[in-house]
């Protein structure tokens, strides 16, 4: 079966406990990995109401969407992925850093890694931390080798397990099949909006953004997250969190 038809990790792959979309829990996790306390995750209660958006510190450096993998979504994904080749980018000149997901139920961790490793957030990773070490080793590697490195980094697995076990709801088993998935939107070094999803063939450039626009700007939302909502129609199983400055 091709990776376009079924991009999920194989059943025998390592598995994580699914991560709850809980900003407080996620914030503790990124801090444990080495992100500065100056950054935090925040609930996004509305994508269109300016008053609700005003509660989120700006600029928003990344936006994480949690959404259901429906038949409609899979049809759209396969149609787009059939038109592109597998990503093979490496090195410090990449506009974004991207990992292929090869760990089952790790989409929450993948989303967070993509959020904090790209754009201005990368400058707020503490030197010598778990995440700093992972990035330094990952950037020169091809995507498949990055995935192998991630699988063999026990500090990532341990931090994820601690966070996923501490949610507000009883966590599912690592071997469970979960139909909710995380995708991350960031602004790359090239000034463009990028969609980063470990189930895809690579990072996807969604369009240019003016220098003064962040992930919650009208154009960024229209190019990215709002397209999901438009395609899925009445399905309300969506939530979003933004990476931005801490309120503490």
With 0-12 / 13-18 / 19 or more C-beta atoms within 10 angstroms meaning exposed / middle / buried, residue 54 is exposed
Other C-beta atoms closer than 10 Å to the C-beta of 95 total 18
213-236 per-position pLDDT tens digit: 999 999 999 999 998 778 776 566
Active-site amino acid positions: 107, 181
Contact assessment for residue 103 and residue 97, using Cβ atoms and an 8 Å cutoff: no
Domains and CATH numbers, the chain: 23-245 (3.40.532.10)
SS3 label, residue 5: coil
For the record, the structure tokens of 55 come out as 């509660």
Contact assessment for residue 30 and residue 116, using Cβ atoms and an 8 Å cutoff: yes
User: Quick one: pLDDT at residue 227?
Assistant: 82
* CA R_g for the chain: 17
36-73 per-position pLDDT tens digit: 999 999 999 999 899 999 999 999 999 999 988 888 88
With tokens 């609700």, the residue in question is 52
Contact assessment for residue 20 and residue 168, using Cβ atoms and an 8 Å cutoff: yes
- Nearest CA to 116 out of 90, 89, 134 is that of 134
User: Quick one: pLDDT at residue 233?
Assistant: 65
| DSSP track, 178-239 | --EEEEEEEE-TTSEEEEE-TTSSS-EEEEE--TT--TTSHHHHHHTHHHHHHHHTT----E
| DSSP track, 91-160 | STT-SS------SBT-HHHHHHHHHHTSGGGGGGBPTTSHHHHHHHHHTTS-HHHHHHHHHT-HHHHHHH
With 0-12 / 13-18 / 19 or more C-beta atoms within 10 angstroms meaning exposed / middle / buried, residue 71 is exposed
Region for residue 115 given its phi and psi (left: phi exceeds 0; alpha: psi -120 to 50; beta: otherwise): alpha
User: Quick one: pLDDT at residue 236?
Assistant: 60
SS3 label, residue 90: coil
User: Quick one: pLDDT at residue 7?
Assistant: 87
**How does strand 204-208 pair with strand 39-44?**
unpaired
- List the chain residues with pLDDT less than 70: 1-4, 167-178, 233-236
User: Quick one: pLDDT at residue 235?
Assistant: 60
State the first-to-last Cα distance of the chain, in angstroms, to the nearest integer: 48
- Nearest CA to 99 out of 215, 200, 207 is that of 200
User: Quick one: pLDDT at residue 134?
Assistant: 98
User: Quick one: pLDDT at residue 166?
Assistant: 83
- pTM, to two decimals: 0.92
User: Quick one: pLDDT at residue 12?
Assistant: 85
């Amino acid at each position: 079966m091709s990776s376009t038809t079924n991009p999920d990790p194989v059943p025998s792959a390592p598995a994580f406990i699914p991560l709850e979309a809980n900003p407080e829990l996620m914030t503790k996790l990124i801090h444990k990995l080495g992100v500065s306390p100056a950054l935090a995750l925040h609930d996004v209660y509305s994508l269109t109401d300016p008053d609700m958006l005003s509660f989120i510190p700006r600029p928003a450096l990344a936006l994480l969407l949690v959404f259901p993998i429906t038949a409609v979504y899979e049809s759209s994904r396969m149609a787009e992925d059939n038109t592109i080749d597998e990503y093979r980018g490496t090195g410090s000149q990449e506009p974004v850093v991207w990992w292929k997901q090869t760990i089952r139920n790790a989409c929450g961790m993948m989303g967070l890694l993509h959020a904090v490793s790209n754009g201005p957030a990368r400058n707020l990773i503490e030197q010598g931390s778990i995440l700093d070490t992972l990035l330094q080793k990952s950037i020169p590697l091809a995507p498949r080798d990055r995935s192998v490195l991630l699988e063999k980094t026990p500090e990532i697995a341990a931090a994820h397990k601690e966070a996923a076990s501490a949610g507000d709801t009883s966590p599912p088993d690592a071997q469970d099949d979960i139909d909710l998935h995380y995708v991350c939107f960031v602004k790359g070094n090239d000034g463009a909006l990028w969609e980063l999803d470990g189930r895809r063939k690579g990072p996807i450039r969604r369009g240019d953004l003016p220098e003064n626009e962040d992930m919650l700007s009208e154009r960024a939302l229209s190019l990215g997250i709002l397209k999901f909502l438009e395609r899925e129609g009445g399905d309300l199983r969506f939530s979003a969190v933004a990476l931005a400055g801490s309120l503490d």
